[in-house]
Amino acid sequence: MDTIQPPQSSGIVLSGMRPTGRLHLGRWLGALRNWIRLQRERRCFFFIADWHVLTTRQENTGDIQGNALDMMIDFLSGGLNPEQAVIFRQSAIKEHAELHLLFSMIIPTPWLLRNPTIKEQARELGLVQSEDDAALTTVNYGLLGYPVLQAADILIYKASGVPVGIDQVPHIELTREIARRFNHLYRPVFPEPEALLTEAQKVPGTDGRKMSASYNNAVFLSDPPQVIEQKLGRMMTDPRRVRRPDPGEPFDCPAFNLHRIYCTPEEIEYVMKGCRTAGIGCLECKHIMIKHVVAELGPISERRADLEARPKEVLEILEHGNERARKVATTTMEEVREAMGFGE
């Protein structure tokens, strides 16, 4: 197979996902679909962020190996091309840990304590109850220092762009601060990456809450078409529409969020009018959207089933990506050690 080289002049893009289970429609729309577009435009590094799982699930590590393989299968079946992008596993590149250690020596603790994303996550996990920065001193360093490891992930490949949602922008700004501090203390080694804001896709689950495997409300990339149809056919709609003749309001209907992502302008106009006048029923309305979801995810499910039957080949592809990433990370760390006085 001929290697397809994307444009190199636009700089390097890097992003990763934690392997916490099979990928669902929310992660597809929120990240993976955008990565597939980026790999054709930029030099991209995409990774399985397995060390980051430990920031909140350090006591449950038995499923990391299996989840990492599942994620790689999802990446490939979704359309990430190892001939276009470097796809690798974070824990296979030990240089990430070394750079994280060195960064931890130069970052002031207040930089970590002020991070709003960490505060919100700690509250969601029930680890802190207060808005006070001092409350964060009770959480493990893995969670508090998560942005430092993330900075190492980004800067070791000298990425100039990181696709993130708006909630991750403080992490990218911290990465920029760490790069500036290192460059000032030693010598210029790292670029200051920019956040590539991705359009926030509000993807509700079948029960109307945010789509999540833990809520048992997700549509997975591995689901065959008939399962997708069943799940979305039962999806929650506007509670006003108790009976078929009852009119509703599309913007109060969780299923309508998927209409807005998948349907044509003409279809959206049709379902909005039909909902508000009770001219169409909810199941008929959802079927207009479902056909588009099935058309997109159906081929992914088929490719995934084929790859699941060839795990050895998938792992070989991943190892090849690890080797490519390791070469870049090794070169960067040689520069870092020399700049800090640890070079041979």
Task: Compare 109 and 38 and report the one with higher pLDDT.
Answer: 38
DSSP 67-118: HHHHHHHHHHHHT--TTTSEEEEGGG-THHHHHHHHHHTTS-HHHHHT-HHH
Q: What is the pLDDT of residues 179-201, one digit of tens each?
A: 999 999 999 999 999 999 887 66
Higher pLDDT, residue 183 or 59: 183
Q: Which domains does the chain have, with CATH numbers?
A: 12-203+311-340 (3.40.50.620), 213-304 (1.10.240.10)
- Nearest alpha-carbon partner for 238 in 281, 203, 293: 281
- Which run of H or E residues covers position 48? strand 43-48
- Treating both helix axes as pointing N-terminal to C-terminal, what angle do 254-262 and 265-276 enclose, rounded to 10 degrees? 160
Strands 161-164 and 43-48: unpaired
Alpha carbons 167 and 1: distance in angstroms, whole number = 39
Query: Residue 141: pLDDT band by 50, 70, 90 thresholds?
Result: confident
Average pLDDT over residues 68-95: 97
- Are 205 and 224 spatial neighbours (Cβ–Cβ below 8 Å)? no
By residue count, the chain amounts to: 344
Predicted confidence at residue 186, as pLDDT, reads: 97
Tell me whether residue 102 is exposed, middle or buried, using C-beta atoms within 10 angstroms of its C-beta: 0 to 12, 13 to 18, 19 or more.
middle
Tokens of 192: 């200051």
- Mean pLDDT of the 71-82 span: 97
Structure tokens of 29? 């729309």
Q: Does position 32 have pLDDT exceeding 60, yes or no?
A: yes
Contact 307, 316 (CB under 8 A): no
> What number of helices (H) and strands (E) belong to the chain?
15, 5
The token pair at 90 is: 């974070």
- Could you give phi then psi for residue 202, rounded to 5 degrees? -80, 105
Give the span between the Cα atoms of 232 and 254, in whole angstroms: 11
Sheet holding 194-197, edge to edge: 86-89, 43-48, 12-17, 161-164, 194-197
Say what percent of the chain tops pLDDT 70. 90
Beta bridge partners of 162: 195
What are 261-291's pLDDT values in tens digits? 999 999 999 999 999 999 999 999 999 999 9
H-run or E-run covering 187 = none
**Which stretch of 199-203, 247-251, 295-299 has the lowest confidence by average pLDDT?**
199-203
pLDDT given at position 5? 47
In this structure, of 106-120, 142-156, 307-321, the range with the lowest mean pLDDT score is: 106-120
Name the least confident of 35-44, 71-80, 132-141, 308-317: 132-141
Among 70-79, 126-135, 200-209, name the one with the lowest average pLDDT. Answer: 126-135
Q: What is the pTM of this model?
A: 0.90
- CA pair distance 328, 313, nearest whole angstrom: 24
Q: Which residues pair with 48 in a beta bridge?
A: 17, 89
